C-alpha cells in the first residue's frame, strides 16, 4: 500500500504536512507552513530527498564505534 501526504491546519492557523503510511501509521509530521503553496513545495522537496538521501547516524552509539576504530 502506498502512503499519503496529508495537509492539516494547526492550532496557530498554519499548515502541517503529515506523512501517513498505507496502514494509517503516522510516519512524520512537518513544522508549520504559512500556506498551501509552501506546504506543497515542502512535499516536493521531501519526495526528491527521500529517494536519494543517505542515512547519517548521529547517535551516541555511532560516536562510540567511531572512537573504537570500527
CB 33, CB 16: distance < 8 Å: yes
pLDDT one-digit tens code per residue, 12-36: 889 999 999 999 999 999 999 999 9
Residue 6 has pLDDT above 90, yes or no: yes
DSSP-derived letter for residue 25 is: -
CA pair distance 33, 36, nearest whole angstrom: 8
Other Cβ atoms closer than 10 A to 35:
10
State residue 52's pLDDT score: 86
Fold for 4-55, please state it: Double Stranded RNA Binding Domain (3.30.160)
pLDDT one-digit tens code per residue, 41-67: 999 999 999 888 888 999 988 765 555
Amino acid at each position: 500500500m502506498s502512503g499519503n501526504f496529508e495537509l492539516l491546519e494547526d492550532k496557530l492557523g498554519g499548515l502541517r504536512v503529515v506523512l501517513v503510511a498505507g496502514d494509517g501509521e503516522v510516519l512524520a509530521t512537518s513544522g508549520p507552513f504559512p500556506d498551501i503553496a509552501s506546504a506543497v513545495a515542502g512535499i516536493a522537496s521531501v519526495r526528491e530527498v527521500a529517494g536519494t538521501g543517505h542515512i547519517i547516524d548521529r547517535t551516541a552509539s555511532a560516536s562510540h564505534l567511531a572512537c573504537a576504530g570500527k
